[in-house]
Chain A
Amino acid sequence: MIKAILIFNNHGKPRLSKFYEHYNEDIEQQIIRETFHLVSKRDENVCNFLEGGMLIGGSDYKLIYRHYATLYFVFCVDSSESELGILDLIQVFVETLDKCFENVCELDLIFHVDKVHNILAEMVMGGMVLETNMNEIITQVDAQNKMEKSEVRLTLPVHYFYLSVYQAGQVDTGRYCRSACSCRISCKEHEPPGNAQKHQHW
C-alpha cells in the first residue's frame, strides 16, 4: 500500500500532497516538513530509499523518492510494495506529467495542482496502484478533459475568454498566460494553430 504521495520543491514548498490515510492538516504539514528535511540533506548519488520517518507509518514504511530538477517526488509505502517497482512508478508518473503538460516544469504543478491530482487518480487509487501503462493513463485523462471542455464550452461566453487572457497577460509573463488560459477554455479555437498543438491535453 502507498500511504502518501508528496511533491515538494527544493525549498520544501508543497506542490502536491496526497494522503491515503487521514491526518489533520497540522500533522500533514509536519510530515511534509519532516520528509523534506530527511530527503533534502541527502546527496545526489546515494540510494533512493529512506527509513525512519517517525511521523508516518513506522518500521514497516519506507520513503522512496526521486529528485527531478527542482522537485522531489516522494512516495511513502509499506513493505508490500516493491522498492524498485515504486521507483519505476515515479518515473511513469513524471513522464505522464511531461506528456500531459508538454515539458512539464514546476510552474505547471504550481498552477494546476488539480490536474496533477486528476492524473494521479488514474494511476493510484486509495493507496493502491491502479494503472502503470502510460498510454492508458493519458487516454483516460484526455477523455475526461475533453468531457470537461465540452461542458465548459456550453456555459462560457467568448468574451470571458478574451478578458481572462488579457488579465493574465497583464500580471504575469507569457508562460503564466498560457497556463492561465489553457485550462479554462479549449485553445484550439482561439489560439494560433502552432500553440494549439501544445495544449491539446488541456
Chain B
Amino acid sequence: MALKIVKGSIDRMFDKNLQDLVRGIRNHKEDEAKYISTCIDEIKQELKQDNIAVKANAVCKLTYLQMLGYDVSWAAFNIVEVMSSSKFTYKRIGYLAASQCFHESTDVIMLTTNQIRKDLSSPNQYDTGVALTGLSCFVTPDLARDLANDIMTLMSHTKPYIRKKAVLIMYKVFLKYPESLRPAFPRLKEKLEDPDPGVQSAAVNVICELARRNPKNYLSLAPLFFKLMTSSTNNWVLIKIIKLFGALTPLEPRLGKKLIEPLTNLIHSTSAMSLLYECVNTVIAVLISLSSGMPNHSASIQLCVQKLRILIEDSDQNCEPSVNACMKYLGLLAMSKILKTHPKSVQSHKDLILQCLDDKDESIRLRALDLLYGMVSKKNLMEIVKKLMLHVDKAEGTTYRDELLTKIIDICSQSNYQYITNFEWYISILVELTRLEGTRHGHLIASQMLDVAIRVKAIRVFAVAQMATLLDNAHLLTGNVQRKGICEVLYAAAWICGEFSEHLDNPTQTLEAMLRPKVATLPGHIQAVYVQNAAKLFATILKSQEGNTDSTAAQETSQLMIDRLPLFVQSANLEVQERASCILQLVKYIQKLQQKDVEIAEEVIALFAGELNPVAPKAQKKVPVPEGLDLDAWINEPPSESESEDEQPRAIFAKEEPKHSRPRHTEVDEKELAKRREARKQEQANNPFYIKSSPSSQKVYQEAPGVEHIPVVQIDLSVPLKVPVFCPTGLPMSDQYVKLEEERRQKDKAEKKKKEKKKRKEKRSGRGKRHDSGPESEEDITPAHMVDIVTEEMPENALPSDDDDKDPNDPHKALDIDLDKPLADSEKLPVRSHRAAEVLKSPAQDGDAESAVSQETKKKSSKEKREKKKDKDRDRKKSKEDKKKKKKKHKSEEKGEDLLGGQEDGPVGQSEETSEVAAQPTSTTAEVSDLDFWLSNAPVPSNTQEAATVAAAEAAPVSELASGTAPDSEPDEPKDTETEETKSSKHKKKKQKKEKEEKEKKKKKKHHHHHHHSDGGGEESVQNGTVEEEEPLPPMSNYCLLAENSYIKMMMEDADQVNDIQGNLQDGSQVVVSVIFENKCDSFLKSMEFNVLDSLNSKLQRPEGSGPHDGLTVPFQLPPGVSNEARFVFTMQSIIMPQKLKGTLTFIVKNEDSSTHEKLDFKLHFTCTSYLITTPCYSDAFAKLLESGDLKCSSVKLEGVVMPFHHLLARICFRHHFSVVERIDSCASMYSRSIQDHHVCLLVKTSGQTVSIDAKCDEPTLLGNVLDEIKQTFSQC
C-alpha cells in the first residue's frame, strides 16, 4: 500500500504543476504556441489517468491556459470529475475551472446538479462556499430551478459565511428562474435585518440590483431601507441604499422629503468621498423629483449646480491629480443628471463645459460632450458646432474623433432639427465632415444628408449643388484605402442628385461623373444607387434637351449611357448587374425611338415620377392588421413533416411549387381576376402607404396642387444662396455661413428695434418698456428660411409610443413581479423528487389480499364523491376566493364563523389563536398602507393635509372592522370621496379595491355561513373528527398565477381531480384543471384557443376527430375586465411523479378598429398532491389498512414549524388533500387516496418545533413526492 503511494507520487514528480507550466511558457518566449501545444498533449495524458490528484493538477493548468485564450471546453467532463472529488483542494480547483469556462450551452452542466446539491448540503462550510461561488458563475435556468430550494434553505444556514453567499447567489437564480422570486422574497427581506453585517450587505446588494430594474415593486421596502440607512455604518451598504433611494424618489416624491435630512447629516458626517458623492447624487435626484412639481426648488438646484461647478473647476492642491480628475469627471456626470430636467440651470455654465472639452483626459472630454448636447440653443448652436469642428481637426485618436462626429450630428439633428436656423450651414458642415480620414461613420453623414434633403424642401437646390460637387470630386473621397467608411456619403450624394435632378445646374456633367469607370471600385450597394440614379438623371436631361430643335445633344446623352453602362452590366454584384442591364436595354430602346424623332421624354420621366415621403421609423409596425386577416394561419395547408424535409433543399428556388396548388390558380377565371384587381386598386387608392402609380408627376411639385398633405415651403431669400463653393481664402465654408448668419441676425435685430421703437412710440400711453434690450431670447432669432420640415408619416390613429422600445429579451423584465401579493400555493419552489427512493424502507410483507376495508371506503367515497363533487367544487372555490380576499377582514369573519359553527374549545384559547393568525395577514398585506403612513409622517407642512386624509382613509377600514359583526349594515364610507381629493397614488387604488372586495364579501357572507353550517359533513375532510371548525385558518388559496401579459391573466386552480368511472383505470386517470381567464386590457378578447404540448404521460383530452396538436377552443369570449373560468381535462398514465406541461393560449385582441393575434405561453405544473383526492376514512378501516402490510413506509422530519398543530393539520388537509382520521393531542393520523387508488396514510406527530411525519403508501415513488411536497409547503412558512 505504502509502496503504491510512493510510486504514485514518483509518477507525479515528473508531471508539471502550474508553476512549472508558467515557468516553461516564460522560457519559451519565441515558440510559445508550440510549447503550449505540447503541454496540452501532456495534460490530455494526465487527464486519462485515474489518480484524481493528477487530474486536478491538469485541470489547474488548463485554467491558466484558458486565461491565455485557449479553448479548454473539451475537458469539461474532467472538470466535473475534479469538482466531485471529496477533497476540498481538488474540489476548489474543479469549481474554479468550471466557473471560468462553463456556460449555458456546456452540455455536461446537467451532470453537475446532484454533485452541487451534495456540496451545498455538505457539513464543511467551505465545500458549500466553493460550490456557491462556482454556481454563481455558471448557473443555468435548469440548475436554478432544481437548486432554488436548496439555496433558499441555505439562506438560513447557521454560518454567516454561507448565508451571505446564498443570499447573493439568489439574484442569479432569480434572473435564470424568475418564478423563484416570489417564494424566496420574504426570506430575502428577512436577511436585510440579519445580525451579520456581511449577510445584511449581501441582501441589500441583491435587493438593490432587483429594484434598480423594477423600482416600483420595491417601494414598500422604503421604510426598512430608511431604517438601515440611519443605522448602518457600512459604507458599502450605505452607498447601495442611497443609490437605491435615488431610483425610488422619482416614483414617490414624499420619500424625497423624508430623505433630505438624513442625507445632509451623512454629507456632513462622513469622511468617505464615495459615500459623500452618492449622497450628493441622491440629493440631486430628490430635488429634481420635488422641483418638478414646485418651482421654488429650482433655487436649490441652482445651488447644487454651483457646488458641482466648484467640484469641476477646483483642483485641490493637497490631492493627487488623478483624484482631482476623478472628481471633475463625477461632477460632470452629476451635472448631466440635472441637465435632463433643468437644462436652464446648467446652460449658464457653458463656458466651463466648453473648457472641459480642452481637457487632456478623454473621459472628461466625452462627459463634457454629453453635456453639450443638452446645452445648445438656436443662438449658440453654430458657435458650439464650430468649436467642435476645431476639435475634430485636432483630435488624434479615431475613437474620440468618431465620437465628436456623432455628437455633432446628434446635437444638430436633435428634436427634429429644432435648433438649426440655417440648413445651408448644416449641409456645408456635413460636407466638411466628409473630409475626415478613416471615420467609421460615413453612413451616419449619408443618412443625415438624405434626411435633410428629403425633409427640408427649401434646401434641395443647395443640397443638390453640393452633392454634385461631391460626386465630381469623388476621387478625393475614395482615393485612399483608409477612407472606406466615408464613401458611404457618395450613396447619399448620388441619390440626391438623381432624385432632385431638376435642380441640377449642369446635369450632363454630373451624369458623366456618375458613369466614370472609377465608380466600379465602389462597394456594390453604392454602385447600384449610381446606376439607378444615372437613369433618373438621364430622364431629366432628355426632358430638357427634347425641347431643343437640335436632337443630336439628346442622342449624345443616350450614346454616353450606352457606352458606359456595359461596365456595370459586368459587375459581380447582382443588384448592380441587374439594374444596369435593365437600364441599358431601356436606353437602347430610347435611342432607337430618338432616331425616329419620337418624343419620349415624358414617358421616360414617368418611370421615376412620384414624391417619396419620409416614413416614421415605427410606422410599419403600427399598420393595423385588417380584420379577418390571420397572419399566423397557413395560406396553404402545410405539407406534412416528412414531405417538407424532403423538399426543403429544393425550396430555395421558388419556381418549384408543390403541384397540388397549381390547379387552384387556374380555377380563378379572368373575370374574377379583373374584379380582384379593381378592388385592390381601390384599396390602394385609399391606402396612404401605398406608393401610387398615378402619373400625377409630382416631380414638378410646384405645379401639382393635388397632394397637399405635404406642406410646401416658402423660401425667404433674405440670405444670398450663392456662396463660393471652394473658397480661395481657405476659410471653411461653414464659417462663412456663421459670419453671414451673424450679419443677418444683426440686421434682423436692428430692424426689429426700429419696429419696436415705432411701436413703443405708438403705445407710450400704457406700460413703459416691456422689451428691454436684455439678453437675446430664443424667439428673437428668426430662421434664415421659413423651414417647413415634412413630418414623418404614421398610420392613422397610431400614436408614437415608446412601449415597443423595451428589449423583449431583457432578463429583468421577467422579474417585474408584484411582491406584495400573498404567496399562492403553487408558487412554491420545486423540490427534488428522486431522492425519496433512497429513504424508502420496504416492510417486505406479503399481504396480497386487498383489505376489505379499503374496498369499502373506496366504494363509499366514490359514491359520495360524485354526489358531493359539485357541491364541493363550488364550495371550495368560493371559500378559496373568500380566503384570498380575507386579508384584513379575516379576523372579524372568523369570529362570525365561530359563532355559527359553535364548536368552541374555550374562549381564552380561541381568542388567542384568532389574534395570532389575524396578525399575520395584516402585517404582510398592510405593508402598502404602512408605506403611506410612514411617508405621511414627513415633516413638511405642505403635506400635512394629504397625510391627514391618508390617515383618515386608513381609519375607515379599522372602524369597519370593529363593526364587522353586523354584516348587513354597510357603513357609508367617506373614503371614496376623500381619495378623489388626495393624489391618486397607487396604494390608495389598491386600498379601494380591497374595500370593494370587502363589501362584496359582506353580501356573500350570510350565504357563506349558511353553507358552513348546513353541510358541515360535506365540507372537505370533515368526515370524522377532522379540523375543528372553530379554528381560524390562515388564508389559503389554490389559485395561482399561470401566466400573464398585458392582455390577459391566467389563474390556474391546483389541479382538481375526478376519478373516472371505475374499471376505466387502464385508460389512465383524468385530472381536471380549472383555469380562470381574466381580461386585463380595454379590448375584446375572442377566439381563445388553449393548447398543451402532450407528454408521454399526460395528454390533454381533445374532442374526437381533432389531431393530437390541435388546441381546444375556450367556449367564451371576454369583454374588457371580465373573467371567466374554463375547465380542461387531462388524461394521465402514471401519477407517481409530478408533471410539467408546456402550453400556449392564443387569442385575438379586438379593438374598434383593429384586431391583433396574441399568444401567451404558460407552464402547467401537476404536483403529486394534485393526484390525491380528499377521501374520508374511518379509524377502524384505517387501522386495518395499516395492518394489511402491503404499504411501504417512509418518513420526513420538518424543523422549525412554529404554527399550532391544528393549523398544521389544516394546511396538510387543504394543500395536500388529506383528511384527518383521528387526532389525539399532538398526534394525528391522516388519509388520502390517489386517483389511481393508492392509499396514502400519514401519522403526524409534533414536539416543540419539530414535526415528524411517518407515511405509508403502496406506491413508494408517489409517497416520496408527496412528502417532498409537504415538506416544501412548510419550508415556505
State the A residues within 8 Å of B (CB): 1, 14, 16-18, 20, 22, 24-26, 28-29, 42-52, 80, 82-85, 87-88, 110-111, 113-114, 117-118, 121, 125-133, 136, 140, 143-144, 147-148, 151-152, 155-157, 160, 163-164, 168, 171-172, 176, 179-180, 183-184
Contact = CB atoms under 8 A, between A and B. Distances in A.
Contacts of B205: 128-129
A157 B236 contact: no
The interface centre, meaning the residue of A49, A82, A160 with most chain B CB atoms within 10 A of its CB, is A82
B137 A148 contact: no
A130 B171 contact: no
Contacts of B161: 140
Interface stretch (B67-75, B1182-1190, B1249-1257): B67-75
Given A25-B71, A48-B325, A129-B205, 5 more contacts: A49-B363, A114-B60, A125-B133, A125-B169, A140-B161
Contacts of B168: 125-126, 128, 130
Given A25-B71, A46-B361, A157-B6, A113 B89 contact: no
Contact of B278 (A48, A82, A130, A152): A82
Contacts of A26: 69
Interface in B327-385: 328-330, 360-364, 366
Contacts of B198: 130-131, 133, 136
B172 A126 contact: yes
B403 interface: yes
A129 to B, nearest CB: 6
A79 to B, nearest CB: 8
The interface centre, meaning the residue of A43, A85, A168 with most chain B CB atoms within 10 A of its CB, is A85
B45 interface: no
Nearest to B327: A47
A198 B809 CA distance: 51
Contact of A24 (B71, B126, B322): B71
B36 interface: no
Interface in B217-240: 234-236, 239
A118 B92 contact: yes
B1191 to A, nearest CB: 46
Nearest to B139: A126
B366 A52 contact: yes
B329 A49 contact: yes
Interface in B732-746: none
B236 A85 contact: yes
A153 B364 CA distance: 55
Contact of A144 (B88, B277, B366, B403): B88
A49 B70 CA distance: 30
The interface centre, meaning the residue of A46, A48, A52, A143 with most chain B CB atoms within 10 A of its CB, is A46
The interface centre, meaning the residue of B130, B171, B362, B399 with most chain A CB atoms within 10 A of its CB, is B362
B361 A80 contact: no
Interface of B: 5-6, 9, 12-13, 17-19, 22-23, 26, 53, 60, 63-64, 66-71, 87-89, 92-93, 96, 100, 103-104, 124, 126, 129-130, 132-133, 136-137, 139, 161, 164-165, 168-169, 171-172, 198, 201-202, 205-206, 208-209, 212, 234-236, 239, 243, 272-274, 277-278, 320-322, 325-326, 328-330, 360-364, 366, 399, 403
B18 A114 contact: yes
Contacts of A136: 198
A30 to B, nearest CB: 9
Nearest to B53: A155
Contact of B239 (A45, A82, A157, A183): A82
A126 B277 contact: no
B136 A125 contact: yes
B321 A45 contact: yes
8 contacts: A20-B137, A46-B364, A114-B60, A126-B171, A133-B198, A147-B124, A155-B5, A157-B9
Contacts of A29: 69
> What are the 5 closest A-B residue pairs judged by CB atoms, nearest first?
A126-B136, A84-B274, A45-B321, A22-B103, A47-B325
B69 A25 contact: yes
Contact of B399 (A24, A52, A117, A172): A52
A147 B236 CA distance: 30
Nearest to B25: A110
Nearest to A15: B67
A155 B6 CA distance: 10
A1 B209 contact: yes
Contact of A171 (B23, B53, B278, B399): B23
Contact of A113 (B64, B273, B362): B64
A111 B22 CA distance: 6
A29 B9 CA distance: 36
Contacts of A163: 13
A27 B399 CA distance: 20
Contacts of B87: 151
Nearest to B276: A84
A130 B69 contact: no
Contacts of B278: 82, 85
Contacts of B362: 42, 46, 50
Contacts of A179: 19
A46 B243 contact: no
A144 B328 CA distance: 42
A144 B66 contact: no
A126 to B, nearest CB: 3
Contacts of B273: 84
Contact of A14 (B68, B171, B360): B68
A151 B69 contact: no
B69 A144 contact: no
A127 B13 CA distance: 38
A31 B222 CA distance: 39
A22 B104 contact: yes
A48 B326 contact: yes
Contact of B320 (A45, A117, A125): A45
A22 B140 CA distance: 12
A49 B332 CA distance: 12
Given A147-B126, A151-B87, A51 B366 contact: yes
A53 to B, nearest CB: 10
A24 B5 CA distance: 40
A37 to B, nearest CB: 10
Contacts of A114: 18, 60, 63-64, 93, 96
Contacts of A171: 23
Contact of A25 (B70, B137, B235): B70
A45 B71 contact: no
Contacts of A84: 273-274, 277, 326, 330
A132 B240 CA distance: 13
Contacts of B18: 111, 113-114
B89 A47 contact: no
Contacts of B322: 44-48
A125 B132 contact: yes
A144 B126 CA distance: 7
Contacts of B169: 125-126
A129 B236 contact: yes
A163 B14 CA distance: 11
Nearest to A24: B71
Contacts of A130: 164-165, 168, 198, 202
A147 B130 CA distance: 13
Contacts of A46: 321-322, 325, 360-364
Nearest to A26: B69
Contacts of A117: 63, 96
A160 B236 contact: no
A144 B92 contact: yes
B16 to A, nearest CB: 11
A47 B323 CA distance: 7
The interface centre, meaning the residue of A25, A113, A148 with most chain B CB atoms within 10 A of its CB, is A25
Nearest to B208: A80
B522 to A, nearest CB: 27
Contacts of A17: 67
Nearest to A181: B19
A87 B274 contact: yes
B22 A110 contact: yes
